[in-house]
Chains A and B, each alone.
Chain A
Amino acid sequence: MTVMTAVTIRTSDGQAFEVEPGEIVLDAAMRQGVDIPYSCRSGTCRTCLSKVLSGRIEHEAEYADDLMIGPAEVAEGFRLLCSSLAYEDAEVEPGW
């Protein structure tokens, strides 16, 4: 699915940032100075693991099988923001 317009992500601690079409969510946060913990930026360390409280954020399909996140967590709404794209405005809660 191609996202044609920027979407807005809000964090549970009150920060907000825009994500351009095709832009990785964590990259967008860093570009705008939003403080989300991260380390590897490749979906292995789980430092950026966050729960999507509303809206739609999905892992990049190409790498989804290599990410350090289990299917049960994905079903509960957790995402690794370093390896995710946003498809609509969303609210996220970093950490687990």
Chain B
Amino acid sequence: MTTDTFGNYVEPRHDVEASSGLLKRLYLVEREQMRALAAKHIAIELWSAKNGMPRHWWLASRHADSLRNRVLELRYPRRDVDKDHDRGLSGFLGELAKAETDAEFLLGIYTVLRPALIDAYRAYLTEADPIADAPSIYAIEHILFDEERTQPEGEGFIADLAEADVAAAQPWVDYLGQYLTSIGGIAGDGERADPPLDHPCANRPAYVVPEKCVRPREFHPARVESPGRPPENHREQQVWYAIDHANEVWAAEAPGGFMVQMPHLPWNFYTDVARWSYDEMRHAQLGARRLKAWGFEMGVDYPMVGDPVDAIYEMGGGPLELLALLYYFEKDAPAHRMVTKKEFGAMDDTDTAIDTDYDWADEAIHLKYGFTWLQHIVGADKPDELKALVERAGEMWNTWLAERWDKEEDLYGPYMERIEARIAAAASVP
């Protein structure tokens, strides 16, 4: 027990150095959680997780940004916020994406990392001075609000896994738990030991982002998402548009991969990418919602593919061309959305018209992201090079798509029959 010169009891509390050090650890955890969730998204098969993870990594990006700003404020400007991290904590976080199955990854995030992170936030609030450190408390209270709301969603993903898969993932859970304990926990204030390098799950290779978007095995095979002919009536126009929207999942998966494929860009790149990919997942959900309302079953009545990702990699491109292709699609979208919104409004499909309006609004942000970061990578003084890169990515896509149709490798036949049958059935309803 400590007393001051008046003999008053003095509550033990952190000084600025200790607080900023702890906040820096929490920032690192949120940042690496964001990167792991986003980069693994393309490899996840479980559809509830595929749908829900983008919101979690977008929130993690906001949490990380808020904590990073607070670290910078303390002893302003604390410039080591992005370097000199605790090697043990970095090592543990680097293991998360090495999970080899959906079950391993989801259990690692939602049963090992996040419960410990939530406990660390609660401990910070218990120990923080409510006046001296009030800005940190404000930030963490809001982060905790998000974490406590999203944690049950993560547990819901796990509930959707097969029991055998969960059981098979237990050694990985055990390994991560041992690793976290060995580094003294999230706060690093526990007893430390050597990492469990002799564990059977240790020493796995680094995660490499796959070049193909994983879809649930129960979905029927497909290569392209768009029907091979233009819509011939309003109903087809609605369905074609919704299928296109639903398939924007790839546009969440591809930038998610950039989190590890482009690891040395400024911090704002990652917060932009987190938002961009979350937006695209929401657009996909808008399309899927319309199709579900019209009686279409995902992956059965209409295809779910990642054809732009296939196109870029099969045509010899890489992450930079994927970023350029995202921008290529966004670049011409606003003019298209203006017309589409009017058309759906005119056919009394106000749901699609409003979905389009929000999509259009998001695209203005995405265009800024795309141009900003392509320009950063290519060089601000090289607009012609940037333009050529975007055009090359567009050509890769258009060439690949045309070849799939020409060579009859689209696999669309069964889908077209089901789409036309669904539309015909809807048309027979008075």
Contacts and interface: CB of A to CB of B under 8 A. Distances in A.
Given A70-B380, A70-B381, A38 B334 contact: yes
Given A39-B360, A40-B367, A70 B383 contact: yes
B192 interface: no
Interface stretch (A1-9, A44-52, A55-63): A44-52
A40 B334 CA distance: 9
Contacts of B371: 46, 68
Interface string B363-375: 1110110011001
Given A70-B380, A73-B383, A39 B375 contact: no
Interface in A67-93: 68, 70-73, 76
Interface in B358-407: 360, 363-365, 367-368, 371-372, 375, 380-383, 387
Given A44-B367, A45-B363, A70 B334 contact: no
A96 B383 CA distance: 10
A21 interface: no
A34 B338 CA distance: 14
The size bracket of the interface on A is: 10 to 19
B281 to A, nearest CB: 21
Say what secondary structure dominates the interface of chain B: helix
A47 B361 CA distance: 12
Q: Which of B338, B381, B383, B387 has the most CB of A within 10 A?
A: B383
Given A44-B368, A45-B364, A37 B383 contact: no
Q: Which of A47, A68, A71, A72 has the most CB of B within 10 A?
A: A47
A56 B327 CA distance: 30
Contacts of B367: 39-40, 44-47, 68
Contact of A39 (B363, B381, B383, B387): B363
Interface in A24-48: 37-40, 44-47
B323 to A, nearest CB: 16
B346 interface: no
A96 B334 contact: no
A70 B371 CA distance: 10
Nearest to A41: B364
B335 interface: yes
Interface of A: 37-40, 44-47, 68, 70-73, 76, 96
27 contacts: A37-B334, A38-B334, A39-B334, A39-B360, A39-B367, A40-B364, A40-B365, A40-B368, A44-B364, A44-B365, A44-B368, A45-B334, A45-B363, A45-B364, A45-B367, A45-B368, A46-B367, A46-B371, A47-B331, A47-B335, A68-B368, A70-B380, A70-B381, A71-B381, A72-B380, A72-B383, A73-B383
Interface of B: 331, 334-335, 337-338, 360, 363-365, 367-368, 371-372, 375, 380-383, 387
